[in-house]
Every structure is written in C-alpha cells, then in structure tokens.
Amino acid sequence: MAKARISISLDQDQAERIRQHAERAGMDVSAYLVHAATRQMAESDAIEEQFAEVDALIARAEQAADGLPGERDAGEPAAELTEQERREVEEALGLVHGRDRAGRRPGHAA
C-alpha cells in the first residue's frame, strides 16, 4: 500500500515533547503520531457509536418539534401527554440515565 505524507506545523516545545515521548515509547516520531491519532480516532468512534441512539432520538425530537405550533399563550393550560408521548419521554430519560431498552445499565451486571 502506498504511503501518504502529511505535513504539520507546531510550536518548537510541542515538537520536542513529542520527540521525547516517541523516544521513550521506542518509536520514531511518525509511528508515535500515527499511533496516537489512531487511538484517538478509535476512542472517538466508540463514543459516537455509544451515543448514536441518543443522537438519533434527539434529532427525531428536534424534527418533531419543528412541526409544533409556536409558543403557547402563558394562560393556556398545557395539554396532557399521549401514552405514546409518555413512553417516548421515558425511553429518552432512560437513555440519558444510561439504561438500555431492557432497563439495564450497559456495562453493569444484571
């Protein structure tokens, strides 16, 4: 596989710290930076995957909210939630509080 070259600019003190850390890790600067970037990308991907369901739920809620009428008159009573709306609120709160659809907290023993 052909390699690509990426040029970066950084402060001299940052460059020296990177060189020192790479040396301590037994790596050249290129390998060290690739390793660090790869770890960061894996961490970011894992976080995005973990929160994908919450992000999708938020996007659906925002889309639904766009179709709602403007602000109510302060004197107008709030309408009660439908059963479906209540379930959706409970599901959203469960996701926010770290529970999956079965009511378990991911990563915790049942």
Per-residue pLDDT band for 104 (boundaries 50, 70, 90) equals low
Question: Looking at the chain, how many residues does it have?
Answer: 110
CA dihedral 35, 37, 38, 43 (to 10 degrees): 130
pLDDT of residue 76: 57
Kindly list the domain boundaries of the chain, sorted by start residue.
11-48
Q: Look at the alpha carbons of 8, 10, 12, 16 in this order and tell me if their dihedral is positive or negative.
A: negative
The residue that leads in pLDDT, 33 or 108, is 33
Residue 19 has pLDDT above 60, yes or no: yes
At residue 108, does pLDDT exceed 60? no
pLDDT digits (tens, 9 = 90+) for 26-79: 999 999 999 999 999 999 999 999 999 998 989 998 888 887 776 555 455 556
SS3 of residue 83 by DSSP: helix
Q: Which two tokens stand for residue 45?
A: 């991907």
Query: CA-to-CA distance for 54 and 51, rounded, in angstroms?
Result: 5
pLDDT value at residue 93: 81
For the chain, what is the mean pLDDT?
84
Q: What is the pLDDT of residue 75?
A: 52
